[in-house]
Structure 1
Amino acid sequence: MWMFTQGGHLFDSSRPSTLPEVDDVLAVNPSKDTWTIVVKVNRMWVSPCFGGSKLPFSMELVFMDAKGCKIHATVRKSLLYRFQPLITEGRVYQISYFSVGENGGEFRTTMHTYKINFEMHTTVRLATNTLITMSPYSFTPLSDIRFNVLDSSYLTGPVASKNLKRMENWKRELLLIFCKRCSS
């Protein structure tokens, strides 16, 4: 008997595998509805209804697989009761039987072409034997921010603009010190 990993799962070679084939998040597209992915929930939030209703509009999630590929997911209002209690930010899940749509719009949370839509028949199982330890952060070079080389349809965090201001102040201070030394 020996153990080996495949797609982030541990398998015991002495037992027949009961886990379904796991797909890479990068491969997810609308061509089928039988995808099975194993992902970590990097971010999770509830979007409020516009127009004053106290009920949420949807639950939004950002998933990442073991290879670091991220994809956005949406649980619509009518399915919140079913999925919100099952999912916790930071945990790893096996998710199957969801629909896939275009990841369009003015502001996107991931660079993936598609996004996941939870359906009534979507299954969510805690993946207890799987760790996804990759960092969920993607850093953009300051030069790209400074010279507006960013893809403005993709959300960037406030850290970038704060660090750019600090960097500019630091460069100014360094330049002043350098100029004072040169003139002495």
Structure 2
Amino acid sequence: MLDDITVVARYISIWHSHAKGKPNDPWSLDAVFMDPQGNRIQATIKRDHITKFAGLLEEGACYRIRNFGVGENGGKYPLLPHKYKINFFKNTSLTRMNRFDTNLNGFKFEPFLRFSTRRWSEQEAVDIIGTIVSIGDPIPFGDNQKRRTVILEDAE
């Protein structure tokens, strides 16, 4: 167990996790951070600590993160294929710093050919520039969920 590690990362995405049917009762605040090399990792802030950190986080801003925990990135639908995630605790330190690059939204662009031939992990979130040609009707799947088929065309 190492307790003196500092991570420098850009905060690129955030959402509240909550029990099904209880959108106003979050059990955690989840985020994605990206380091200067483009590596991304998910972070979780449990309900007891949301008020401490929610007001400090701004999408696109860069931070030094200290005194955090590392746990398995489990769950039914992890956003990233990374094996681990960062856990914020009461004594976690979050210090805003100057931006280290211009990729404010943390985009991870993939060439259209890689997208159309599925050359990445299905659990990995990637960004593609293309034109939406059509969007299909909702299709039920899983536990009362729906998905849609989207047809994209290479913008080039």
Identity of aligned residues (%): 28
Matched pairs, number: 137
**In the alignment, what sits opposite 1:33?**
3
Change (3 A) 1:119 1:141: same
The structure carrying a bigger helix percent of its residues is 1
- Name the amino acid aligned to 2:38: G
**In the alignment, what sits opposite 2:107?**
137
Change (3 A) 1:53 1:151: closer
Contact 2:112 2:128 in 1 (8 A): no
- TM-score normalised to structure 2 length: 0.72
Contact 1:34 1:98 in 2 (8 A): no
Change (3 A) 1:140 1:107: farther
**From 135, 153, 156, the counterpart of 1:166:** 153
The structure carrying a bigger strand percent of its residues is 2
1:126-164 Cα deviation digits (max 9, x unpaired) = 22xx22214221122322322233311223458668386
**From 10, 14, 33, the counterpart of 1:44:** 14
- TM-score normalised to structure 1 length: 0.62
**In the alignment, what sits opposite 1:77?**
47
Cα displacement (A) at 1:71: 1.4
CA–CA separation in structure 1 for the residues paired with 2:72 and 2:80: 12
Q: Which runs of 5+ in 1 are unaligned?
A: 1-30, 172-184
CA–CA separation in structure 1 for the residues paired with 2:30 and 2:129: 22
Q: Which runs of 5+ in 2 are unaligned?
A: 134-150
**From 70, 74, 87, the counterpart of 1:104:** 74
CA–CA separation in structure 1 for the residues paired with 2:62 and 2:114: 32
Change (3 A) 1:36 1:66: same
Q: Which runs of 4+ in 1 moved over 6 A?
A: none
Cα displacement (A) at 1:41: 0.8
CA–CA separation in structure 1 for the residues paired with 2:36 and 2:107: 14
CA–CA separation in structure 2 for the residues paired with 1:158 and 1:149: 13
**From 75, 82, 89, the counterpart of 1:119:** 89
Match status 1:61 vs 2:37: no
Q: Which has the larger radius of gyration?
A: 1
CA–CA separation in structure 2 for the residues paired with 1:91 and 1:111: 23
Change (3 A) 1:101 1:161: farther
CA–CA separation in structure 2 for the residues paired with 1:137 and 1:53: 27
